[in-house]
Amino acid sequence: MSAFITVDKEDPLVDEVIKIIIKGLQKNQHVTVRAEVVEKDQVFAGSGSFVADDNGTVDISEQPSTCGTYKGVSSMGLFWSIRSSPSMPQGLKLVKRNASSALLTELTVFPGQLTFEQTYNSNVKPMLQKTMRRWYMARGVQKIPVRSGRIRGTLFLPPGRGPFPGIIDLFGMTGGCVEYRAALLASRGFAAIHLPYFLYDDLAKDLSELELEYFMETVDWLSAHPHVDGNNLGIIGVSKGGEIALQMAYYSNKIKSVVSINGAPFLTVMPMTYRGENIGESIFNKNDYTETEEGIDSRNSMDCDIENYLPIWERDVHVLLISGTDDMTLKTKFLPNLFKCYPEKRKHLCELLVYPGAGHLIEPPYASFARSSVKHNRGVGGDHGRALMLWGGETVAHAHAQEDSWKHILRHFRTTLSITPTVLQRNTTNSKL
């Protein structure tokens, strides 16, 4: 019998666990499995080596990887351990910019126990291959470009007429339009707009140009959308986006729920204006960057006393704070300190999740991990240089944080924003055209 690969889901969403099995091998045969993704000519992959059982079968969800990009038993180890291939330059990070196209993964089985690097040796011939499609957009989700007034972005609507709870999705200082988390939120029942705020289209080219009005206008726009429940609006942001999310929730009475992932409880890098005046006090000193062999550690470039934190605890908004203890971009004390600021009688409005060993960029489940990546510093005072920035994190711990925090994020929004059982049932269907 010829060997072959089976997967239990042909078109899964990226946050789903997949069962991968190789059958038809020899008893106790050693094989290596590689999962490779090519995105915009950049090559990323994860690998694991396995020993077939007495039936000539390797079940990746039950059998340990003995070497490769991860070790031990993990159904999704081939995915969360993905990194740039040996031929790629240092500092790449896998980012799916166009969320409406599939994330194609080529599964390749090689004979023998190979290291990750050896799977790219031209003398090693593969035994078999299978292409998988994984999606950020579920079947029936609509993707709608947004260009309204000065608002730019992409709106994702679940199937049906709604109205759906609305979520504004913000990323950090990378800039540009990063759609995938908003698409995944729509796949789970929310009307989600990814909102770029600089280095995209005709938006600001530098963080010094940011005005809070841009974000507040988006709140008004989303609340008035015919398929959105304007009484149930939330925001999610990571890094600078998490910081801005807290500011929006403080200044807008339309926001009911916020998730801030390693976002500072004060303004960093550049001040922001609102109604013609600077709000808060920006804290940033680039001279306090620490250069290491891995890259630039920026944790000490920003600090702020608790008495100058944004007093979000004064607002009737439900807040979920997510913090990694190995964050090398932001001091890890900030979000625990913000949680401590909540008076006992208002503690029910705030939940804090602290993940040991996780870094700065905590993303949806099974996303590839990048401890560092090249960052274009165009958002910092007009500096157009490139730098290898450290985000921190340990691979296994960070993967756990991404998987666990996503469950909490969905539960947070589902419990603090009204979402009907019908929507929940429809959007847990794991398929895609």
Q: Which residues are known catalytic residues?
A: 239, 327, 360
Which residues contact residue 425 at a Cβ distance below 8 angstroms, ignoring those fewer than 6 apart? none
CA–CA gap between residue 39 and residue 31 (Å, rounded): 26
Spatial contact of 243 and 275, defined as CB atoms under 8 Å apart? no
User: Quick count: other Cβ atoms within 10 Å of Cβ 86?
Assistant: 13
Q: How many Cα atoms within 13 Å fall on the side-chain side of residue 328? A: 21
CA–CA gap between residue 332 and residue 2 (Å, rounded): 52
Question: Which contacts qualify for 175-178: CB closer than 8 Å, 24 or more apart?
Answer: 175/199, 175/200, 175/376, 175/378, 175/379, 176/97, 176/200, 177/97, 177/152, 177/153, 177/201, 178/95, 178/97
CA–CA gap between residue 257 and residue 413 (Å, rounded): 7
CA–CA gap between residue 282 and residue 98 (Å, rounded): 33
The token pair at 36 is 């490779």
Burial class (CB in 10 A: 0-12, 13-18, 19+), 131: exposed
Q: Helix (H, G, I), strand (E, B), or coil: what is residue 54?
A: coil
CA–CA gap between residue 226 and residue 207 (Å, rounded): 32
CA–CA gap between residue 228 and residue 419 (Å, rounded): 11
